[in-house]
Amino acid sequence: MPEELDRDLGLASVVAISMGAMIGSGIFILPGLAMAEAGPAVILAFVIAAVLVLPAAVSIAELGTAMPEAGGDYIFIERGMGPGAGTIAGLGTWLMLMFKGALALVGGMLYLGPIFSRLGVDVSGELVGPVPIENAAIGLSYALEITHLELIAVVIGALLITINVVGVKQTGGLQKILVLVMLFILGGFVALSAGNIEGGSYDGFFAEGSVGLFAATAMVLISYGGVTKVAAVAEEIENPGRNLPLGLLLSLGLTTGLYALIVFVLVGTVDAATLEGSEIPMVDGVEPFFGFLGVILIVVAAMFALISTANAGILTASRYPFALSRDNLLPDGFATVSDRFHTPVTSILITGAAMLFIIVTLPVEEIAKTAGAFQIVVYILVCLSLIAFRRRDPDWYDPDFRSPLYPWIQLFGVFAGLGILTQMDLLPQIGGVGIALLGALWYWVYGRQRVDRRGIVGEAIIDQVEPTTEASETPYRIVVPIADLDRERHHLRLAAASAANHDGEAELVVMNVITVPDQTSLAQEVGYEQERIDRQHVLLEEAEHIAEELEIGLRTRAIVGRDVGDTILHVVEQEQADDVLMGWSGSRKRRERVLGTHIDRVIEQAECEVTLVRHDGADNVGDVVAFVGEGPYSSVAVRKAAAFVQSADDATLTLVNVQSGDPSEDTADAIERGQSIIDETAQSVGLDEYDSNVVVTDDIESELVSIAQGYDTTCLGVSRAGSVERILSGAIPETIGEQVSGTIVLVRSGESTDRSLRSAILRRLTES
């Protein structure tokens, strides 16, 4: 049974992931350092760097639409050029992300310096050093020292490592918010500072010549290091043929324009002597014109960007040694997954420790240059991989997006990358060339004898997004998420009964979701957590056996995702389902104050009928009661109840209407009104055989509970307000669920809800 990875990333998420990974250390730290190399031409350096990244971006876009699988550049290079090149790419990307994360942590702490100074706290002193370190062979000469700010960076880095180990939830929505906040602040800086530009600041634009320009370009290249990161989650992208290339190119274009504008303003507003070599150029640009308030806003944006980048560096970088280990290219210990947290704990700890070591041993400038060198090596391999695929032209290679100007743009990427490497200092050159040689040597000595080409990631999950059988376009379709064998049979019986009540063909789509933390890629979980996968398959195979007994069509979908509720909604949308039937505990979640952790979103957002079943273990339908009220929701409950009765032997159906009033007074009018509601509802669903009962009471909730206790199965129609707002104040459905035994069925019609959970909560709070 194939595993599916939940596709929940739209175009906005693709752009947010790419821009969020790019906007960080590059723009907040490097403009001043790069200006020391190129002078005012640093503006052009940022644009040239984007041009150099473009070949890799369009190549990744094509490869990603041909192979929309988790793994990104490592998978593409391994597939195109073999496991030897894959080893180099995996190690190179791992190191590049570690260096970029370290640069972000160091830069973030540097931006805290002005705040501490304003508060009268001196953090400029050294805790260790200076200890002279010189090595003429690699062009390295500096004094090792650990400052107070670096100590803070180490502490925050350790905290981020812990967060990734324990698998604290991170969301794409949060990423979008962070990107929007950064864009708002940085865009505001450009707009408000443009009036302070002095034209003379651009005199001598090319004073440092081409050598300085290309040296600056090599330094700022890391500013675009995240543009292809989203390819690592390609299998989680919705409609990858459109969203992956469009998202990559949009994010690259928007980020390039933003970078160029920011640096243009910095060069035009900040004195050259101040800007050159500055490690906090954005503060230098803001403080003279906007004072301490402007500094605070920039520091907030910097901390958002840099800590987010550092965290993403740990999260993403740790996946590479995990994948290499799983593919037998690194020792097995790197693939250790925590039994408690389901995160690649060894890879995270080693990645984090290496990042902290980089922080305390290398200067900021060297970190940036070395990271850029590793990035160039990987981008060269990406371009070569695309050429390899085009030349081999395998039958299955059919990308939805094809790179324009092939192969010239890829050849430009290769030779331009090699050219930039020659303009770097000796240490980054040794890093870039060294990782290629080390990766090749490691593969030759260690990996070559251990690799099974057909068993690595690319071959393992190439076809895993296909369903077990082809979906029909015509049947009445019910999605049934299941989680355990105990309730599975009864849920499927009720779903089958509901489906059989409709004319024409009917089909059940039974799904199970294995959830994984953000720190573990979905494809890695498919490849590693075999025990959980096996349990999932047993569960779904049992569902197939039950469907055979019930004589109803059934398909199964085994999915690996990050959020159960979101995954259910995606499947409902993909299948164009008419109904979704889910289990429900029947008790209130006090912390959530709603039906359940994932049920709420399905009730609110699913554009089909929603059926919730609280099952106490009894398999028989028995005597069924459906509560009938005014409005369309009661008719849905009655229709479901009638279907359940028709599917069972010796089952009875009673329709009950409860009228509010004093039972000690004349109740004739109330009873007549209630009976009319029952008859009209029964007629609307074509129901002829049923018992009816009208009750007049001054305590509706207690009366409903009392009536339900006399039946085996209770059906209620849930209104839009009832599904959210009334639950917040102690809803009748939950009261029945908590106090009544037997099967409780809550039904919501397929009409979209008009009030979100948030608005209901806000209304409840404002009324209290």
User: Would you kindly state where each structural domain of the chain is located, as residue ranges?
Assistant: 3-460, 475-583, 612-768
DSSP 444-468: IIIITTT--TTTSHHHHSTTTTS-S
- 612-768 shares the fold of 475-583: yes
- Across the range 181-207, mean pLDDT stands at 84
- Across the range 22-39, mean pLDDT stands at 84
What is the reported pLDDT for 675?
92
- A 10 A CB-CB count for 455 gives 13
Which range among 209-223, 552-566, 723-737 has the greatest average pLDDT? 209-223
Q: What's the 3-state SS for 282-332?
A: HHHHHHHHHHHHHHHHHHHHHHHHHHHHHHHHHHHHCHHHHHHHHCCCCCH
- Whether pLDDT at 55 is above 80: yes
What is the reported pLDDT for 135?
52
3-state DSSP percent of the chain in helix, strand and coil, to 5: 60, 10, 25
Tell me the two tokens of residue 643.
Answer: 């279907």
What is the reported pLDDT for 72?
66
What is the reported pLDDT for 530?
59
pLDDT band at 46; cut points 50, 70, 90: very high
- Across the range 228-242, mean pLDDT stands at 71
- Across the range 501-513, mean pLDDT stands at 81
SS3 655: strand
What is the reported pLDDT for 95?
83
What is the reported pLDDT for 174?
56
pLDDT band at 528; cut points 50, 70, 90: very low
DSSP symbol at 276: T
The highest-level CATH class for domain 3-460 is mainly alpha
Residues 645, 98: Cα–Cα separation, whole Å:
62
757-764: Cβ within 8 A, 24+ apart: 757/594, 757/600, 757/601, 757/604, 757/724, 760/721, 760/724, 760/725, 760/728, 761/593, 761/728, 763/725, 764/725, 764/728, 764/729
pLDDT band at 411; cut points 50, 70, 90: very high
Nearest to 305 by CA among 293, 313, 316, 294: 313
Give per-residue pLDDT as tens, 263-302: 999 999 988 888 888 888 988 888 888 888 888 888 888 8
Nearest to 284 by CA among 86, 135, 110: 110
Residues 230, 57: Cα–Cα separation, whole Å:
11
The residue among 337 and 233 whose pLDDT is bigger is 337
H or E element, residue 682: helix 668-684
Residues 211, 229: Cα–Cα separation, whole Å:
30
Share of the chain above pLDDT 90, in %: 10
For domain 612-768, give the CATH number: 3.40.50.620
pLDDT band at 35; cut points 50, 70, 90: very high
DSSP 686-724: T----EEEEEEES-HHHHHHHHHTT-SEEEEEPPHHHHT
pLDDT band at 442; cut points 50, 70, 90: confident
Give per-residue pLDDT as tens, 578-608: 899 988 776 554 333 334 456 777 877 888 8
* Pairing label, strands 623-627, 652-660: parallel
Chain centroid offset of residue 118 CA? 38
Which residue in this structure is represented by tokens 């308030």? 293
| Tally of residues, the chain | 768
Q: Which amino acid is at 151?
A: L
Nearest to 386 by CA among 405, 403, 363, 366: 403
Q: In what order do the strands lie in the sheet with 609-614?
A: 3-5, 553-561, 506-515, 476-481, 579-583, 609-614, 743-748, 713-717, 623-627, 652-660, 691-697
The residue among 180 and 596 whose pLDDT is bigger is 180
Give per-residue pLDDT as tens, 145-157: 667 777 888 888 8
- Whether pLDDT at 240 is above 60: yes
pLDDT band at 168; cut points 50, 70, 90: low
Which residue in this structure is represented by tokens 């290629």? 436
Tell me the two tokens of residue 207.
Answer: 């004073």
The torsion of the CA quartet 190, 192, 193, 196, rounded to 10 degrees, works out to: 150
pLDDT band at 120; cut points 50, 70, 90: confident
Residues 2, 445: Cα–Cα separation, whole Å:
35
ω into 130 cis (within 30 of 0): yes
* Pairing label, strands 553-561, 623-627: unpaired
What is the reported pLDDT for 68?
66
Residues 8, 223: Cα–Cα separation, whole Å:
27
Residues 312, 179: Cα–Cα separation, whole Å:
13
H or E element, residue 101: helix 73-118
pLDDT band at 495; cut points 50, 70, 90: confident
ω into 55 cis (within 30 of 0): no
Alpha-carbon Rg for the chain, nearest whole angstrom, is 31
- Across the range 535-554, mean pLDDT stands at 74
pLDDT band at 500; cut points 50, 70, 90: confident
Q: Which residues contact 473 (CB under 8 A, 6 or more apart)?
A: none
The residue among 743 and 561 whose pLDDT is bigger is 743
The packing angle between helices 73-118 and 319-326, to 10°, is 150
For domain 475-583, give the CATH number: 3.40.50.620
What is the reported pLDDT for 209?
87
- Whether pLDDT at 186 is above 80: yes
pLDDT band at 253; cut points 50, 70, 90: very high
Chain centroid offset of residue 305 CA? 18
- A 10 A CB-CB count for 166 gives 15
- Whether pLDDT at 358 is above 80: yes
- H-only helix segments in 167-239: 172-193, 209-220
The residue among 481 and 173 whose pLDDT is bigger is 481
pLDDT band at 730; cut points 50, 70, 90: very low
- H-only helix segments in 393-425: 408-422
pLDDT band at 458; cut points 50, 70, 90: very low
SS3 503: coil
What is the reported pLDDT for 410?
95
Residues 81, 386: Cα–Cα separation, whole Å:
9
Give per-residue pLDDT as tens, 298-349: 888 888 778 777 877 787 778 788 778 877 888 888 877 777 777 778 888 9
- Across the range 708-718, mean pLDDT stands at 86
What is the reported pLDDT for 30?
86
Half-sphere exposure of 333 (CA within 13 A, CB side): 4
- Whether pLDDT at 9 is above 80: no
Residues 457, 443: Cα–Cα separation, whole Å:
17
pLDDT mean across residues, the chain = 77
pLDDT band at 727; cut points 50, 70, 90: very low
Give per-residue pLDDT as tens, 101-110: 888 888 888 8
What is the reported pLDDT for 520?
54
What is the reported pLDDT for 631?
64
Residues 519, 347: Cα–Cα separation, whole Å:
11
- Across the range 637-662, mean pLDDT stands at 88
What is the reported pLDDT for 721?
46
Cα–Cα distances (Å) from 383 to 47, 115, 390, in that order, read 20, 44, 11
The residue among 410 and 359 whose pLDDT is bigger is 410
Which residue in this structure is represented by tokens 């609110």? 604
DSSP symbol at 9: B
Which residue in this structure is represented by tokens 């507003």? 269
Residues 571, 579: Cα–Cα separation, whole Å:
11
The residue among 515 and 44 whose pLDDT is bigger is 44
- Whether pLDDT at 204 is above 80: yes
What is the reported pLDDT for 594?
36
Tell me the two tokens of residue 741.
Answer: 């035994």
- Whether pLDDT at 41 is above 90: yes
Nearest to 556 by CA among 504, 618, 481: 481
